[in-house]
Amino acid sequence: MKKIAVLISDGTEEIEVITPIDLLRRAGVQCDVFSVCGKQITGSHQIKIEADMLVDELIEKDYDGIVIPGGMPGAKIISNNQTAVNVIRAMAKEGKLVSAICASPAVVLSKRGVIDGKKATCYPFVDFTEQLKSTSDYIEQDVVIDGNVITANGPKSAMKFALAICDYLGVEPKF
């Protein structure tokens, strides 16, 4: 069974968390949710989400990849958590799936040197696109796949993002 780690924090964009988890679980993928804050977070639209574990319990070798939702300040909180950054870097180095949506391709992956030279997209806010362009090949599309990296541009693309992750893993959600 495939296993995916999903990161969350206060200020995370809820649709970018729930959609990938829902589709991956429908496809038989084990998704474990790790918080960089407390066990329960409050998303960017005040929806409470309960994590399975805290990020300090995440062991990257146990997972086939990671999903990093956006939302602000959620992406910034994840980017400032050294444990989360170390896990993301380790997964990228091992060629495991690294997927991020909205602000996170820029604020987490680009800022922390994870996707240097890769094709990627992000939420079309000038600060994010400029950050992404500083390290990567910014592509203005809903979803961009470059090797083991999948990025998406925001909430409107959450379903496409989740389906791209399923496709990458070779699984199909049952509806």
CA distances from 107 to 25, 128, 145 (A): 27, 7, 18
Q: For domain 3-169, say whether CATH 3.40.50.150 is its number.
A: no
pLDDT at 9: 98
**pLDDT tens for each residue of 35-62:** 999 999 999 999 999 999 999 999 999 9
Predicted structure pTM score: 0.97
Residue 99's contacts (CB-CB under 8 Å, 6 or more residues apart) are 20, 65, 66, 67, 68, 149, 150, 151, 152, 161, 164, 165
- In this prediction, residue 74 has a pLDDT band, given cuts at 50, 70 and 90, of very high
pLDDT at 77: 98
**pLDDT tens for each residue of 79-132:** 999 999 999 999 999 999 999 999 999 999 999 999 999 999 999 999 999 999
pLDDT at 174: 96
pLDDT at 52: 98
pLDDT at 13: 98
**pLDDT tens for each residue of 145-158:** 999 999 999 999 99
pLDDT at 10: 98
pLDDT at 87: 97
CA distances from 152 to 14, 108, 121, 140 (A): 15, 13, 6, 10
pLDDT at 7: 98
Task: Look up residue 63 and give its DSSP letter.
Answer: -
